[in-house]
Amino acid sequence: MDTTDPDIQFDENGICNHCRQYDVSIKRYVFDGDEGKEKLNHIVNEIKKSGKGKEYDCIIGVSGGVDSSFVAYKVKELGLRPLAVHLDNGWDSELAVKNIELLLRELDIDLYTHVIDWEEFKDLQLSFLRASTPDSEIPSDHAINALLHQIAEKNRIKYIVWGCNIKTESHLPRAWSQGHLDWKYIESVHKKFGHVPLKTFPHMDLITYHYFLMKHKSINLLNHLDYSKKDAIKTLETELDWRYYGGKHFESIYTRFYQGYILPRKFGYDKRKTHLSSLICSGEISRETALEELKQDPYPQKLQDEDRMYVIKKFGLTEQEFEEIMNLPQKKYEDFPSYYPITKSRVYNYGIKLAHLLEILS
């Protein structure tokens, strides 16, 4: 990590705030060894108990990527009965689709696929590109979160099992991307730059989000395992003929292009630094190995060129229009209306703490 994160802070030993926070989060949220097994057994028993008499006892999201695929593998190994949910936002790579089909067939997991309205979503993504903030990926993240909660609510399922984990997904600069759950922010960007009404786009406002948090229990399963990214890849490849796609979240063509082309060229942000830093802290790779990887292009130049042509055409842009977007002045999350003033208020945060306390006591 370096000063492309404008908020980064280094101590007298050259250790940044992200690495210090990593150590704190590992101690607080990650449970491995005997403690992890004990906590995991308790969670599994609670999920099974809540699912008695129902077709499914938990919801999992699947993208075709490493973490979500390994979660699918693990929940079946633990004897759970998941319903897999996939958001098709129009950007799935062929490999991602094959991985999902093969994985769920081999594991005998039912799949619900929500195909997003392309005209709505295209208009929303173009709105974010024209807003010129570095977080044009958050509409997908928001829709996935909303969709999983909505499916859980519809099927009366209490538990949502996520593939998020501290070991390999930390070091995330706030300035690089934020507002994933902020519908007011997403809506304000679309209101300024969009043209197509968002009639069917999966979303949740602040009140609905907290309602879902009270109704549903989120489990970050990988935080309760001795999770290793490289070991997970090996297991998936060996036992399920799953295939790796070459980069973090590169199962999506747009994500691959956005993270590997637009972010570094327009904003100077290389998201590989966050992923590699997490892997260094987890002990999976060395700092020297990470620095060597950063000397290479984010992904092959030929594929970058192909993705560029594909994205421009799929969005219905001309080369000139795309270059105009790339040259727009940079903006930030704070430049648009959002829930941020509310979520940072003292009253709001007292309310959240009280809600957590009542949940623990109930």
Q: What is the CA radius of gyration of the chain?
A: 20
Cβ 276 vs Cβ 294: under 8 Å: yes
Distance of CA 328 to the CA centre of its chain: 26
In a domain, 3, yes or no: no
- The pTM for the full model equals 0.92
pLDDT at 352 over 80: no
pLDDT at 251 over 80: no
Beta bridge pairs of residue 159: 58, 217
Structure confidence at residue 129 (pLDDT)? 97
Containing structural domain, residue 303: 18-361
Structure confidence at residue 355 (pLDDT)? 67
Q: What Cα–Cα distance (Å) separates residue 112 from each residue in 1, 104, 145, 216?
A: 38, 11, 15, 19
In a domain, 4, yes or no: no
In a domain, 289, yes or no: yes
Coil, strand or helix: which one is 83?
strand
In a domain, 6, yes or no: no
Q: For the segment 13-62, what is each residue's pLDDT rounded down to a tens digit?
A: 999 999 999 999 999 999 988 888 999 999 999 999 999 999 999 999 99
> Percentage helix, strand, coil, to 5, in the chain?
55, 10, 35
Distance CA 70, CA 54 (A): 24
In a domain, 5, yes or no: no
| Mean of per-residue pLDDT scores for the chain | 93
Q: For the segment 87-99, what is each residue's pLDDT rounded down to a tens digit?
A: 999 999 888 899 9
Pairing mode of beta strands 159-162, 58-61: parallel
Q: For the segment 116-136, what is each residue's pLDDT rounded down to a tens digit?
A: 999 999 999 999 999 999 999
In a domain, 291, yes or no: yes
Coil, strand or helix: which one is 251?
coil
In a domain, 1, yes or no: no
In a domain, 277, yes or no: yes
pLDDT band at 359 (very low <50, low <70, confident <90, very high): low
> Looking at the 3D structure of the chain, how many domains does it have?
1
